[in-house]
Amino acid sequence: MDELNEEQPLDFKLGSEAGGVPVLSLSGELDIATVDRLDEPMAPVLASRPQRLIVEVSDLDFADSSAIAKLLVWSQSVGEMELRGASPLLRRVVATMGLEGRLHLT
Amino acid sequence: MRASRTFAPNPECVRAARRFAAKVLEDLPPGAFEPIELMVSELATNCIKHGGTAFELTITQRPGEVRIEVCDTGAGMPTVRSPRPEDPSGRGLQIVGMLSDDWGIETADSTGKTVWLTVSTRPQAGETASTSAR
């Protein structure tokens, strides 16, 4: 199956905004095959129990419930979780599921 | 138009299933594919997580409607759950229920099950003749 020969399609960048707010910028596709690759880089961030965490997803091409599950796990370790630049579809899914209280859409 | 492909039960094949759907449904009007792509991903993910056997994805395109079927021979039956906001998982079929017009689960003999869904795609005028031939 030629579809599987392509590069693993998830890229991420971990940085911070003014005030030291951690920002995880994602691009590519987040699903069951890629989502756990974020565990290792995110472990120290979550261990520090930040007051805020920004997950920038405007360059993310795809996210399914595996991604939502991971974000919800992270949200248990942070004060406020911000989902920035979500697609209309992702916004709709998050809102319809009543998750806006945990994943703030900005 | 009907297209079908079998995928191995590994996580990378969830993406392969999405790519297959994209190729089959490349003529859909803008905005119509994304919800279908998401639902294909959810059904394929369920097969990986709960079935652990190869699964077959079948896509049937009719004028104004797409039907998706995912068939596997795994023993587990998918269930719709109502996770609380703090529960991380259990949302796959919830998404299917949210984004499809109709969906269901069928069991055939003792050999497995098919999860199917339909979604309307409102074909654009002038495009139906070339894309709807069965």
Q: How many residues does chain B have?
A: 134
* Interchain contact B78–A (C-beta under 8 A): no
CA gap B60, B53 in Å, rounded: 23
Query: What is the rounded average pLDDT of the residues A31-45?
Result: 97
Residue numbers in A near B95 (CB within 8 A): 64-65, 93
A9/A27 Cα distance (integer angstroms): 8
**pLDDT tens digits, one per residue of B18-68:** 999 999 999 998 889 999 999 999 999 999 987 778 999 999 999 999 999
pLDDT tens track for A51-99: 999 999 999 999 999 999 999 999 999 999 999 999 999 999 999 999 9
Residues in A lying within 8 Å of B, measured between beta carbons = 1, 3-4, 9, 29, 31-33, 62, 64-66, 68-70, 72-73, 76, 87, 89, 93, 96-99, 101-102
Residue in chain B lying closest to A8 (CA)? B12
Q: What is the pLDDT of residue A8?
A: 64
B86: pLDDT confidence band, cut at 50, 70 and 90? low
d(CA A31, CA B15): 8
- pTM of structure: 0.89
In the three-class reduction of DSSP (H, G, I as helix; E, B as strand; rest coil), residue B14 is classed as helix
CB contact under 8 A, B18 and A70: no
Of chain B, the percentage scoring pLDDT greater than 90 comes to: 60
- The C-alpha torsion from B113 through B36 and B92 to B96, rounded to 10°, is -80
What confidence tens digit (pLDDT) does each residue in A7-36 have? 668 999 999 998 999 999 999 999 999 999
